[in-house]
Amino acid sequence: MKTTFWEIQRKKKRAITLLFIIFFPFFTLSLFGLLEILRLTSFGFLIRGASPLELLLLSALASILVYIIGIAGARRERILRYLEILKAQKPDKDDLKHKQVENVVNEMSVAATVSPPEVYIIPVLAKNAFSAFNIIAITEGAVSSLERDELQGVIAHEMAHYLNGDSYYKGILSTFVMTLSFFSSASFYLAAGSSSRSKKKGIGGGFWLVFIYLMFVEFLSRLINSLISREIEERADAMAVQFTRNPLSFASALWKVSRDRTRGISAFNNPAMASLFIVNPTIKGIDEISGFLGNIFSTHPPVKKRIKTMLELAGVGEKELIEKVKVSSPKREWWVEKDETWLGPFSMEELLEKTWIGEGVKIKGKTGIVTLKELLSRFKPTEGNCPRCNGPLFYTYYENVPILRCGRCGGIIVREDRVLRIIAREEDNLSAEEIKYTKKIVEEKKEKLFSYGTTPRAVDPTEPLRCPFCGKPMQRRFFNFITYTPVDYCPKCRLYFFDSGEIEMITAGLKRVNILYT
């Protein structure tokens, strides 16, 4: 008989409740054992007159105190500080992809019958997401690369954590584990210190016995904590299917997110936060091992196991998953002449995003030849002019990110906080010809650098530009050292100006690096 998501939820709920109930008496008995062993140390005189029952009651009271501390410490302010470190921001109202995220969150809130949580976008290329309390955070990489139905699965998974109050479970459990870890570390330093200072081996030996005992207890507590964490993740997976009724899309989302973990983000390498993410953001082979070792050390079930469960719920095999993750190609019927070579074909949307299309570039389609000005005529012009050629600027979009584009030379002006989004969304926009052309230009730039010095002016010796909005000179700098692309930046308005083709140069260079390391 086929397993349903309802059955998975019931099974996981029973396991979580049982393990959570076991953890409290386990911690109490661990403290009781610690007090009994302390009788053998120099601190034994403090409890020598107490009966075993009194020590057990004292241990129970200490467990209740740690439980209360765990609840009090599970606060959203801690998550907000973490998001501040990651430079996360609320969704941009003018960004079409960010609007989509907010729409999906509202949809999943209705499905889960809860009020919509706060949403944050983390400006990194890695694909991942996490939730804590009434906060859902998703990376720019996931926002940019996941299809809408895949995004629904990820948001639904995080909504399940929000609905179940899993942040409190994890906060309480981590407090128990950290308490035992603190005692274990303290006993080690006491044992080492007493052994070096005292000639009486009995004193140091007693502390070493305490340390060995606490190490064993801490190991068991981490094992139980990992078991509960994995059960919580699998329950959230099943609830995501309940909210979306689309296990295949969630399976493809898990595949894309797990495949992207090679993009290491140092800010994510926080052990206390790793268990919150939908997929462990740190690269650990142990996460994909099933069996004893994986059960001990991993806070997440193996992604392969999670995907297999989703495929079973969908009633399909791996072949359907492979077809699902393939990017569907839009209708492409436009060609552009560049250096006596026709590049393409491109769709109309892709054509409007090619910043290397400037004045005089031939654009050929079924309806004949058109100009850049004709392509941009559907958009609203601005009051400012291009800092490079003084041509008209138009409001338009690049990979759903709002930008200003020159209708004459093809240059674009982008707000600093929006540049990363364009780079994150480069996968669907670049052709093989563009990447090949970029490689040729980069080699030419390197020759200039080696000949005239490693400065932006060596690559672009033109006069500094002036910001079209504040009128102050813009700074010329390398955007990165992968393509050696010099760009102009206004520190007052926090705007970048990219000349014709420069944004493609940067994204194509980064795509080549990603191909090498993913």
Question: In terms of Cα–Cα distance, which of 100, 105, 98, 94 is closest to 123?
Answer: 98
Range 496-510 average pLDDT: 80
- Angle at CA of residue 457, ends 463 and 503, nearest 5°: 90
Range 237-243 average pLDDT: 95
What stretches of 266-357 show up as alpha helix (H) in DSSP?
271-274, 292-297, 303-314, 318-325, 348-352
- What is the tens place of the pLDDT at every residue in 20-56? 888 889 999 988 888 888 776 666 666 767 788 888 8
- Split at pLDDT 50, 70, 90, the class of 443 is low
* Residue 374 backbone dihedrals phi, psi, to 5 degrees: -65, -35
Which pLDDT score is estimated for 244? 95
Residues 6 or more apart whose CB falls under 8 angstroms from that of 184 comprise 211, 214, 215, 217, 218
Which pLDDT score is estimated for 118? 95
Which pair of tokens denotes residue 326? Answer: 């393939």
Task: Report the alpha-carbon distance of residue 508 to residue 423 in Å, rounded.
Answer: 9
Per-residue pLDDT at 515 exceeds 50: no
Q: Look-up: residue for tokens 């699998």? A: 234
- Which amino acid is it at 127? K
Task: Report the alpha-carbon distance of residue 119 to residue 238 in Å, rounded.
Answer: 22
Mean pLDDT, rounded, of the chain: 80
Least confident interval from 134-143, 376-385, 392-401, 416-425 = 376-385
In order of 183, 218, 385, the CA distances from 175 in angstroms are 12, 12, 58
Range 158-164 average pLDDT: 94
Range 223-237 average pLDDT: 91
Q: How far is CA 344 from the centre of its chain?
A: 33
Least confident interval from 141-150, 426-435, 491-500 = 426-435
Q: What is the pTM of this model?
A: 0.74
- Please give the share of the chain, as a percent, with pLDDT higher than 70: 77
Task: For residue 385, give the DSSP letter.
Answer: E
Which pLDDT score is estimated for 447? 63
